[in-house]
Amino acid sequence: MSLVNKYQKRERRHTRIRAKISGTKKRPRLCVFKSSNHIYAQLIDDENSKTLIAVNDSKVSKVPKDKNRKVAVAHQVGVLIAEEAKKLKIEEAVFDRGGFVFCGRIKAVAEGAREGGLKF
């Protein structure tokens, strides 16, 4: 019986996802990572191994304190990364959920980025 914890399972899922997708300068990879308290998003050019844009929840301004605060912050992170991408004239990206399930905060980042004008 293997003793694989949930973090190792997520890393395996992420490895499988990364084998199939990669980003270019014109269409970078939007990589999302969430911890228990914070959320991070990056636009990465895998051809040149460069991070083009990085945004996290510390750059988010006022968000109402209610029961869905983390989801609202994640949505704002998506909007912010889309705004930064517009400044670099990036219109399309490849979404990398990082091995996480596409719901909750991960979905909120994707919706925020779409709302900000980024296409997947």
Domain boundaries, given as residue ranges, for the chain: 7-116
Q: Please, where are the H alpha helices in 1-120?
A: 6-20, 69-87, 105-116
Which residue bears the tokens 């400044």?
87
Cα-based angle 56, 41, 117 (whole degrees, multiple of 5): 105
Would you state the pLDDT for residue 10? 93
DSSP 58: G
CB atoms within 10 A of CB 32: 25
Say which residue, 2 or 24, is predicted with more confidence: 24
CATH topology of domain 7-116: Nucleotidyltransferase; domain 5 (3.30.420)
Q: pLDDT for 49-107, tens place per residue?
A: 999 999 999 888 777 788 889 999 999 999 999 999 999 999 999 999 999 999 999 99
| Res. 1: pLDDT tops 70 | no
What pLDDT does 60 receive?
84
Q: Over 90: is that where the pLDDT of 116 sits?
A: yes
Statement: residue 118 has pLDDT above 60: yes
Picking from 41, 30, 27, the residue whose alpha carbon sits closest to that of residue 91 is 27
- pTM, two decimals, is 0.89
